[in-house]
């Protein structure tokens, strides 16, 4: 702990921000820059993703080829205009940022994002908001979270903070995923000024929470030298995600750490309830790992 300078995240040296639109992804760009500013000698890169339309269905191959070529051309032209905006935005940054480009069919974009994320310590993305691109953004975040092996740091719309990780809320349910998220967040937890462990309707049990839910993980964090100030047990009939978010807001937290969950459905990974709800509603940066 003594070797870690306050505000200097030692173990994250390679940060990737994944973008597809200059304006919509400004929160992720700002969050990645703020994170990079807290790391000495950190490398920052941006992956610009171009979603290509799926091949249209038609009986006549020549019709398909012509229509698809037109759709591809239009998608690439629109994407190039956005890429230039992102490039111009990055040139204004105080932190040098490498710009990478990738394109794929919309249905494959999440896997492509996951491949890029594997070559970074953390991948930063913007939370899905209302509009036509919500499902695609969820697909990209899902791909990174479940297929990259790296943590996903989600910026809420409108985020304009200058730093991250001073006041951290850890959503703890004693699961493997929550443990993984906690491990991935170690770089931030070591320098946090306040860490709050939140359990939602946790009950004492041998395999998981133990006799005193939250106490064991609190002890682990204290042993690691973390500044743990509160351990909270919440109930009051609220959903897990709402309870976590309300408590985080009350504590003026600037980061929520939690596990990301999925289950198989028609061969597709879909977000678990709490993960999906928090992802769609949080106004606080969210660090997830699976």
**Category of 9 on φ-ψ map: left (φ > 0), alpha (ψ -120 to 50) or beta:** beta
pLDDT at residue number 242: 85
**Same-domain pairing of 191 and 104:** no
**Same-domain pairing of 150 and 182:** no
C-alpha angle 110/115/121, rounded to 5°?
Answer: 110
Flag whether 32 is in a domain: yes
Beta-bridge partner residues of 167? 194
Domain CATH number, residue 69: 3.40.50.620
A 10 A CB-CB count for 6 gives 10
DSSP string for residues in 53-78: PPPPP-S-HHHHHHHHHHHHHHHHHH
Task: Say what percent of the chain tops pLDDT 70.
Answer: 88
The SS3 assignment for 49 reads strand
Flag whether 60 is in a domain: yes
Beta-bridge partner residues of 168? 195, 255
Residues 163-221 have pLDDT tens digits of 999 999 999 988 899 999 999 999 899 889 999 999 888 888 878 888 888 888 999 99
- Quick one: tokens of 49? 């993703």
Flag whether 63 is in a domain: yes
Flag whether 4 is in a domain: no
**Same-domain pairing of 105 and 199:** no
Q: What is the pTM of this model?
A: 0.89
Number of domains in the chain: 2
- Give the β-pairing of 167-171 and 228-234: unpaired
Q: Residues for the chain: how many in total?
A: 290
Flag whether 160 is in a domain: no
**Same-domain pairing of 60 and 151:** yes
Of 236, 122, 235, 234, nearest to 169 by C-alpha is 234
**Same-domain pairing of 124 and 229:** no
Please give, one letter per residue, the 3-state secondary structure of 180-205. Answer: HHHHHCHHHHCCCCEEEEEEECCCCE
Q: Which stretches of the chain drop beneath a pLDDT of 70?
A: 1-10, 58-64, 131-132, 235, 262-274
Show the domain range for 204. 167-289
For 207, residues 6+ apart whose C-beta sits below 8 A from its C-beta are: none
């Amino acid at each position: 702990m003594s070797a870690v300078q306050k505000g200097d995240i030692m173990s994250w040296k390679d940060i990737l921000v994944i973008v597809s639109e200059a304006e919509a992804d400004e929160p992720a760009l700002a969050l990645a820059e703020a994170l990079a500013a807290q790391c000495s000698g950190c490398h920052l890169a941006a992956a610009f993703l171009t979603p290509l339309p799926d091949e249209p269905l038609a009986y006549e191959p020549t019709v398909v080829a012509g229509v698809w070529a037109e759709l591809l051309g239009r998608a690439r032209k629109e994407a190039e205009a956005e890429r230039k905006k992102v490039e111009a935005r990055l040139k204004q940054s105080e932190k040098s940022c490498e710009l990478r480009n990738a394109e794929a069919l919309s249905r494959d974009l999440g896997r492509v994002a996951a491949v890029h994320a594997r070559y970074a310590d953390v991948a930063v993305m913007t939370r899905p908001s209302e509009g036509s691109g919500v499902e695609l953004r969820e697909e990209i975040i899902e791909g990174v979270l479940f297929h990259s092996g790296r943590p996903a740091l989600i910026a809420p719309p409108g985020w304009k903070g200058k730093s991250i990780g001073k006041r951290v809320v850890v959503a703890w349910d004693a699961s493997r995923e929550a443990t993984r998220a906690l491990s991935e967040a170690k770089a931030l937890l070591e320098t946090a000024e306040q860490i709050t462990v939140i359990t939602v309707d946790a009950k004492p049990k041998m395999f998981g929470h133990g006799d005193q839910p939250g106490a064991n993980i609190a002890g682990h964090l204290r042993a690691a030298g973390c500044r743990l100030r509160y351990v909270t047990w919440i109930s009051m009939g609220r959903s897990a995600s709402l309870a976590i978010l309300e408590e985080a807001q009350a504590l003026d937290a600037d980061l929520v750490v939690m596990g990301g969950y999925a289950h198989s459905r028609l061969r597709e990974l879909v977000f678990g309830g709490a993960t999906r709800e928090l992802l769609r509603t949080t106004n606080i940066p969210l660090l997830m790992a699976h």
